[in-house]
Amino acid sequence: MGINDNRFLIEILRDISDLPEEQMIEALRKSPSDVWTIMYMAYGDVELALPTTPSWRVDRITHRSFIEGRLEHINAQTSCGDLLSTETRKMVRLYVRGVHPTLTDKKRFQLWEQTLARLQEDEIELLEEIRVHRRLPEGLDRITKEIVRAALPGLLETVVPPENPAQPYSSAPGLLSPLPGEPDPVRVIDNAPPPPSTVTAVSLREQINDEAKRRYDEVYSRLRFA
């Protein structure tokens, strides 16, 4: 069975999980970046900055809000394609401990619950199983950590350095002056902060061979810039 990248992310994951192990490994290698991110969130050697107690309950949703949520989901899927895929691209930045420099845990969990409210039931189950248990839910759990390690060497060990917080910029008052505390677009280029530290990533590269270096760079790029 081939993996069609134009299908929704949850469907791609199901297709991969249904394959024999050798084909599963090959399919993971060829899968889109969003699949890699889901594997990293489920099995990666990182801490998620989210509570691990079960909290999402369907009975918290009234009939009216359920209908409104379903309409929002349908509209979102129609306008921007796969909503789960879109949200997955933000996950490492928002939910891996230490990457986002200013987001509070309270706000982080609010964003998580807002995301869940817009997804379908099987997509909610996927994300909640990752948050609470750091694993894939039943039906996708044939994709084990060992299979991911075999398919994507270096992925689960990838270190994503923290982002630098936005720095304020000063300028003379005028039409283009920023609001208080906002960056000045005129001076961004001249005063841009230095790039994030890569000391941890570089030290990791020094410990592995040339082939592993190539794999590490590929994994890092796909996680960071997907």
* Number of domains present in the structure of the chain: 1
**Is 114 inside a domain boundary?**
yes
Residue 178 reports pLDDT greater than 50: no
Question: Residue 35: left (phi > 0), alpha (psi -120 to 50), or beta?
Answer: alpha
Flag whether 194 is in a domain.
no
Give burial (CB, 10 Å; 0-12/13-18/19+) of 38. buried
- CA dist 4 and 108 (Å) reads 32
* 107 within domain boundaries: yes
pLDDT at 220 over 80: no
| Separation of alpha carbons 92 and 47, rounded Å | 11
- pLDDT tens digits, 18-75: 999 999 999 999 999 999 999 999 999 999 999 998 875 544 544 445 455 555 545 4
Mean per-residue pLDDT, 87-97: 94
Whether residue 45 is contained in a domain is answered as yes
Q: Residue 164 — very low, low, confident or very high, per pLDDT cuts 50/70/90?
A: confident
Q: Is residue 157 part of a domain?
A: no
Q: What is the pLDDT of residue 6?
A: 74
Domain that holds residue 121: 9-151
- Quick check: is 181 in a domain? no
Q: Does residue 174 surpass a pLDDT of 70?
A: no
Q: What pLDDT is recorded for position 219?
A: 67
Residue 76 lies in a domain: yes
Looking at the chain, the whole-number percentage of residues with pLDDT higher than 90 is: 53
Highest mean pLDDT pick, 37-46, 193-202, 210-219: 37-46
Of all residues in the chain, the percent with pLDDT exceeding 70 is 59
Query: Does residue 129 sit within a domain?
Result: yes
Q: How confident is the model at residue 169 (pLDDT cuts 50, 70, 90)?
A: very low
